[in-house]
Structure 1
Amino acid sequence: MIIIVDALNRHEYSGLLDRMFQLRAQVFGGRLGWDVKVENGREIDQFDALDPGYVIGVNEDGNVVSCVRALQTTGPHMLADVFSAILGGEPPLRSPTVWESTRFCVDTKRLSLGRGPGTISGATSELMIGSLEWAMSAGISDIVTVIDPIMNKVLKRSNNAPYDYLGSTTQMGKVPAMAALLDCTPERVAQVREFSGIHHDVFASPSEAECFKDKPRSAEPKTNSQMQRYLEEQLDQAHTPKDRDAALRTWSQLHDRGLIDSLPPARAGRRVS
């Protein structure tokens, strides 16, 4: 299933994002050997600080198994600032309805071969469907993405072939790269769904997404001395016999449960009122 994390909700998914950055390090820094910056087992670059959107695939065990990043082309993005050689001197696309897709990856260690659920092809197709459907819902008309020839074949094989390319295929470090264009349309989504056999809603339900949110930190338990001061304050603020009786009862209960060492001022069996 797919979870969307963006500028509006990323504060709720720091744990999920952390696992995503770890997957990116394993794939791009490890398996593919790209020249990326990996620190503490996480691959994060300067574009992650620009509030991009993340389309994240998770499996039934809660593991991040796929991800892709979406960034507006109206500001800094990889094709304009890192892979501009592909464009051969032409200016990059700049449009509020054209977004850049980068860091597309799947976890081949957790996924098996094949086309069904839990497979590399299944997770890849689900990520494509989720990306396209989310893009359409956000008013994005087209995606530009820098890919290598292998990913170009994956797109074509998945009924998700680019409709055009920008610039020319250019050697970028160890691999050749190209800038591909994909339109975000119901027809394209239908093609990927037909190829993959995925006809259900790929997005996590609200209750499912809730399970991946950061758990609120519980308040730190009061120390014995803090609890003692609190109880003394409650007793001092008790202006009626009824309030004083209630404060002493609370003190006794906490002492009986072993949460405070000192006995309440009132003797056992003796009422204050």
Structure 2
Amino acid sequence: MKSISATFTILITTKDRIEDLKFTLVKIQHVLERNDVECIVCDDGSTDETSSFLQLNYPTIQLIRNAKSKGLIYSRNALLSLVTTPFAISIDDDLHFITPQPLELIANHFERNENCGLIGFRIFWDVKEPISTVSKEIPVRMQSFAGGAHVWRMSAWNAIPNYPAWFVFYGEEDFASYHLFKKSWEIHYLPEVLVHHRVDIKARKIHADYGLRLRRSLRSGWYLYFLFYPLQSIPRKMGYSLWMQFKLKVFKGDWKALQAIVLALFDVVKAIPKIIKSSNRLTKSEYQVYQKLEATKLYWKPKNEVDE
């Protein structure tokens, strides 16, 4: 552990991706070495010696380990429960900062914006770093945020319920965003802080877990409708969501998508008791205000980047 005057805690959840984690830790070493920074890593049941590697090579990092995998959302809750600093930066194990001095930019933005409870970063998604890092984007208030590239003002986190561990994967960001909105906290996009998410988006569809990812993505979106949307708007939203999945996937022969849709619908039915217990519905006027907020900034691409 470092100084009691630390300001930031970096949080990373990982499972069986030791090479990604090694690369990330090297890339953010200059941040980890700062006296005002702490770091906590959750090893979510890895079988690839992740914990041993961290204990041997990064003794100053606080390590927690789930003997059996508990899921991404459970792990993020566990990490946030251990934070004692004013701010907590959550990054994925395959993501690192490109901006050289991100912490000063983050601290300054929070200081200038007292109602800002969470900051989302500008994210470049690709295996290789961007050709150019230049952007003319400016900070803006937005609806939600990316789970693996953001920073919490901990007083805002402590004002809302924990992430819903029963979602397992996907959707926790929007769950938090609705609660923040109800509590009058704002979510801001800070494009000055650029991060590199080392993921091949196009290749994900051919991965073996494509169907599982789609199922979890769909059901989390549908959980959120029933938890937060005004009742009269739910049928229209559900109908549109289903139609788009059939139009863009099933009708084009994506049978894995059809299976994912059916299983996700069953998941929603099974989750009805949890939905009833956890609902915090927006009023019609709140819903209208929320919908007018800037859409969540998830993907950034430089103007001179050429598609291959």
Is the structural similarity TM-score above 0.5? no
Larger helix fraction of residues = 2
Whichever of the two has the greater Rg, that structure is: 1
Give the alignment's TM-score, normalised by structure 1. 0.29
Give the alignment's TM-score, normalised by structure 2. 0.26
Higher relative contact order (CA 8 A, sep 6+): 2
